Amino acid sequence: MCRVCGCSDAAGGSVPAGQPLQPVRTHAAELDTARMVKIEQEILGKNDRYAQHNRSLLAEQGIFCVNLMSGPGAGKTSLLVKTLNDLKAEIKFAVIEGDQETSRDADRIRATGVVAVQLNTGKGCHLDAHMVGHGIESLAPLPNSTLLIENVGNLVCPAGFDLGEQHRVAILSVTEGDDKPLKYPDMFAFADLLLLNKIDLLPYVEFDVEQCVENVRRINPAIVVMQVSATTGSGMEQWYDWLRTHQHAATDERN
Amino acid sequence: MHEMSLCESILQVIEDEARLQSFHKVVEVHLAIGTLAGVEVDALKFSFDVVVQHSLAQDAELCIQMVPATGLCPSCGQQCAVENRYDPCLNCGSFGLQITNGDQMRITHLEVQ
């Protein structure tokens, strides 16, 4: 039982919404020295401040930053490797790789010749803006470049953490399920672009593309959807055009 | 899964406030959590007890006010209650409700000694 509000265990320890706050001494006489202090702070306020700092720092240098999010195995790293190999002559890239353990993904990125830093989150299930700030510091991405952040493979937690990116890209593969957007809506609610990956496997899996797009648009009507295959290269050109357009815009804004 | 990091953030805010507002022990921590904030209340309570061990908030009670979600319909301009992000507007049936309340994760106040 909560001593301030008297909320009961029957309500799962929660206070009903809209209930006014009572001065503590009216019903907590046993705590003579107790006082109530107002806080009114966002729990993730500190993360949001770090994110804002990252965002300003990147914008000042004309760096376009994308936060790529997906469940494990959607093909994020393969898609990045293909993208870097195809565009590295044209766009300067830097990559931040987030994983709980190992530097395997950063190693794959570095093999393309692009600079990469691996952030291991340990017990954490997502990257946060503070870690990314240190990642940016150690990478020192060049002005007018594109910074790609591959978040930890997880459809739930990364959605809640602003990293200071300009755009969020969700990646979903056709081997997952066309109802994923409904089951994990937060990831798709805040993404600007959905890359529907592994479309070369469509003949072999039960995945209704139209249904998937309808599901994701129920949550986010403005989201852009592109069907791609990092393996065959199909549809990748539209993703490259999206990257080019935003990189040029970031550079123009700086100048 | 990210409830542990939320609790670490809560403790940081409490420790910062303890310096600013001169208190040494926290008895209750009051949060306002939106129903669309993606927070599992039971996981949050479990994580909180683990995270605050040996801190000034050890043994503090976590009191959570759940805030129901509302959305603004871009088609008809009406506000309505929202249970899930993929819900249609209750007035006209359109999708794409813009969430106007119920996605917050906020520390509202503390009871301290």
Residue labelled with tokens 């997906």: A70
B105/A15 touch (CB, cutoff 8 Å), yes or no: no
B63/A47 touch (CB, cutoff 8 Å), yes or no: no
* Over residues B20-41, mean pLDDT: 95
Least confident among A16-20, A232-236, B62-66, B102-106? A16-20
pLDDT greater at residue A112 or residue A255: A112
Q: Which candidate from B61, B65, B108 shows the least CB-CB separation from A40?
A: B108
DSSP A169-236: EEEEETTT-TTHHHHSHHHHHT-SEEEEE-GGGGGGS---HHHHHHHHHHH-TT-EEEE--TTT-TTH
Nearest-Cα residue of chain B relative to residue A189? B85
DSSP lists the bridge partners of residue A38 as B109
Compute the nearest-CA separation of A121 from chain B (Å).
11
- Return d(Cα A141, Cα B10) in angstroms, integer: 32
* Over residues A7-20, mean pLDDT: 41
Say yes or no to pLDDT of A18 above 80.
Answer: no
- Return d(Cα A79, Cα A67) in angstroms, integer: 14
Band (B1; pLDDT cuts 50, 70, 90)? low
Query: Chain A within 8 Å of B76 (Cβ-Cβ)?
Result: no
Compute the nearest-CA separation of A208 from chain B (Å).
18
- Pairing mode, strands B61-67 and B26-34: parallel
Residues in chain A within 8 Å Cβ distance of B38: 156, 159-160, 186
Question: Which tokens sit at A118?
Answer: 């691996």
Residue labelled with tokens 């593969």: A173
Contact predicate A154/A186, CB 8 Å: no
The type of residue at A85 is N
HEC per residue, B11-71: HHHHHHHHHHHCCCCEEEEEEEEECCCCCCHHHHHHHHHHHCCCCCCCCCEEEEEEECEEE
- Taking only the tens place, the pLDDT of each residue in A85-94 is 999 999 999 9
Q: What is the ipTM of this complex?
A: 0.90
Q: Which candidate from A2, A19, A39 shows the least CB-CB separation from B61?
A: A2
Residue labelled with tokens 């790293």: A77
